[in-house]
Amino acid sequence: MNNCIFCKIIKKEVKSDLVYEDEEVIGFNDIYPKSPVHILVVPKKHIQSVNVLKDEDKELIGKMVLVARDLAKERNIFETGYRLTFNTGKDAGQTVDHIHLHLMGGKKLLFA
């Protein structure tokens, strides 16, 4: 999508601190981390939010969860625990309209 910041990151038009990339998914550090580990796992396909997911996206979403789980292992928060979050819509605080999975951990997380 033309004006989407995450599409620009995916196309490397905007710089990011990449921690993972394959043909379908990227992972990069959140620019304003809310925990010691705060990675965004993002599909290369532009999907606005969970609200518009289709049956055909099932595998992609499953893959995002597994990528996040593997990154949790890599960052040594697999045992201590971590949170995976899809903020969806205004009340959840979704600010970027390109679906993304937050991987957060490295400290005791309180509910916001």
What does the binding site for ligand 5GP look like in residue numbers (CB under 6 A)? Answer: 5, 14, 16, 28-32, 40, 87, 93-96
Residues in the chain: 112
| Tokens describing residue 21 | 């990339």
User: Using the rule CB under 5 A, which residue among 7, 61, 65, 109 binds Zn ion?
Assistant: 7
Specify whether 46 is catalytic: no
Collapse the DSSP code of 84 into the 3-class scheme (helix H, G, I; strand E, B; otherwise coil) and give the result.
strand
Dist CA 79 CA 72 (whole Å): 9
Residue 98, contacted partner among ligand 5GP, Zn ion, none, CB below 5-8 A by kind: Zn ion
Dist CA 4 CA 66 (whole Å): 25
Instruction: Write out the catalytic residue numbers.
Output: 100
**Interacting residues with Zn ion (CB under 5 A):** 1, 4, 6-7, 46, 98
